[in-house]
Chain A
Amino acid sequence: MNLLWITPEIFLSAAALLLFAGNIRRRRIAVGFTMMALVMAGILVLKFIYENGSVLETAAVDGMSAFFKLLLLAGMSLSLGLANDSAEMKEISWGTFCGVWLLSTVGLMMLAASLDLILVVVSLELIGISSFILTGFLKREKRSMEAAIKIFLVGALSSALFIYGISLVYGALGSTSLAALAGFSFQGPDRLCLVGGLLFVIAGLGFKLAVVPFHMWVPDTFEGAPTPVTAYLSVAPKIAALALLVRALPFHGAAGLSPLLAVLAVASMTLGNLAALRQTSVKRLLAYSSIAQMGYILLGFVAAGTLGLSSVLVYSAAYLFMNLGAFACLIAVSNESGSDRLESFDGLARRSFPLALLATVFLLSLTGIPPMLGFVAKFSVFAAAISERWFLLSVIGVLNSVVSLYYYFRIVHSMFFSEPSSSVPIRWSWGLSGCLVVSALITVLAGLWPAGLLAWVQQVVP
């Protein structure tokens, strides 16, 4: 036990308190300070990357938690850059926004490291409450408030399901630790109670991951929230929940949960992709695409084993950067046009060729076309599924990727082959271009030379 190991979290909480206490309203000061705090926390996480242990046996400090924490910190700082440059977020109290942003980061990092269901519940609450505040941050706008109320109600429902499931699990195991869950044989007399509890737990997590049939809140919430917050919502809570699943997973094969996860995966991929086909708002399109992407990731959990879990880690990293990049392009375009309709992408190549090129990189990666990182991720997920003899599932996954090609390339088509509706050049600012460049570099370079990422992942997966 070493309390020093949670210095990154303590540091971020202290920074959040400073932001609240300082009552900072200047954007530059608040965002700069928060950015520095996130980078410092990243350095502190790097310092403990080779440790292997736990804090009070509730939070793990090991290679895997470091992997996810670094991923989450990268996601939070990149999407903070988006918030900094979004035209929607002009007149807000930045100190409050950044403080809540940091509190949510602490919750995400704790969730990704938890070894105990009690810490899981508490961190889920921290994430839930801060997501709710961030979603409704433009409180003068009706759509933002509507989205906030939706995410609040859904969050309350999913927490209730989750906690109820945990109480059943505790009744069956007499312990709340994930290790006890992993070591359970599923042969004993309490088997039914445990499986029942796990079903509630999966339903509760399903809302956080936004997989079908727990997805109905996603499109409206994603559309109503300020776009940088949508970028955060589409990435960070999902990756933290995936980290939790990876840690809690070793038990699921014995319980026969794989078929259930397979059904969720097929439903998410298919419904997400089919619904995305008809969208005219790019924000809604990305919302449905994120539902479909979670379906692909679930394939890794269906396959389970070392191969399956490593593919989940690779996909999480790929998803983080390509999705944030896509949202960065959307924000760059809608800053000028004030709309997130598909038409505002018309002729983007003539207004700003580099932006259109970067957008194409992210959309190619989301489709899973080489040489982007998204291809490596999809390849490893499908390879894991095939190695566990889930052939039909892999075929459905590949067919779904073909469907997604259509709606992702509708955007590419309108960027390169449509007449621009306005000739205003796109302005670049540092937060936005930082997010674009970093995401694009990682998507392309890690896609061309995936060996480094794969080696890192292999090292941290048990």
Chain B
Amino acid sequence: MIEFWMFNAMALLTVVPALLAVTVKNVFHAVLWLALSLVGVAGLFIILGAEFLFVVQILLYVGGIVVLLLFVVFLSGRPSDWKGRSSNEQWLGALLLSAVLFSSLSAVFRMMPSAKPVTGSPGPAILSLARILMKDWALPFEILSLVLLAALVGAVYFTRPDQERKGGGPW
């Protein structure tokens, strides 16, 4: 019973701030609401017994990505961002589409008899995670480093001022 109410509380903590994040006019406030919604998701993870996901959610999303978003808002924001609407004229269509998607997905999930919430706490997840990353998934893991390299090269290339004529190596 207590799990049921905990789940509902966390779901509310996820959904209401998420709604506010897309409806408030101030971009800065929207990011803060988003952070709160992400905390709600972390709460859902801990109820389901997924400690690792909980830690990652707090560290990566609440800690990292929200701070990154705030940086972007601070660095590239204009005064108009503080009062502009964050939705455009097509919000009704988007709302309808989301409603259809939501109802069909929830119908699919309700038809899945095997979809039972996981209870109880699993063993130490980090060690087995390390084993999976470095052994079973070593190949995707290494390719991922190439993805990061490409992203880094792209970021440097696009932000660097044009100075190909000067500087550079001997060739």
Contact = CB atoms under 8 A, between A and B. Distances in A.
Our verdict on whether A and B bind, yes or no, reads: yes
Interface of A: 6, 13, 16-17, 20, 22-26, 29, 55-59, 91-93, 95-96, 99-100, 103-104, 106-107, 110, 116, 118-119, 121-123, 125-126, 129-130, 132-133, 136-137, 139-140, 171-172, 189-190, 192-193, 196
A129 B143 contact: no
Contacts of B164: 25, 91-93
A189 B112 CA distance: 6
Contacts of B113: 189
Nearest to A13: B146
Contact of A100 (B109, B139, B144, B154): B154
B125 to A, nearest CB: 17
B124 to A, nearest CB: 22
Contacts of B140: 58, 116, 118-119, 121-122
B146 A192 contact: no
B150 A126 contact: yes
Given A25-B164, A92-B164, A192-B108, A100 B153 contact: yes
Interface of A, secondary structure class, is helix
Interface of B, secondary structure class, is helix
Contacts of B149: 16-17, 20, 103
Interface string B45-88: 00000000000000000000000000000000000000000000
Interface in B99-147: 104-105, 108-109, 111-115, 136-140, 143-144, 146-147
Contacts of B144: 122
A415 to B, nearest CB: 37
A116 B171 CA distance: 41
26 contacts: A13-B146, A17-B149, A20-B149, A56-B136, A56-B138, A58-B137, A59-B139, A91-B164, A93-B168, A100-B150, A103-B146, A110-B139, A110-B143, A122-B143, A129-B151, A132-B154, A133-B154, A137-B157, A140-B162, A171-B115, A189-B111, A189-B112, A189-B114, A190-B112, A193-B111, A196-B104
B158 interface: yes
A22 B150 contact: no
A133 B111 CA distance: 43
Interface of B: 104-105, 108-109, 111-115, 136-140, 143-144, 146-147, 149-151, 153-154, 157-158, 162, 164, 168-169, 171
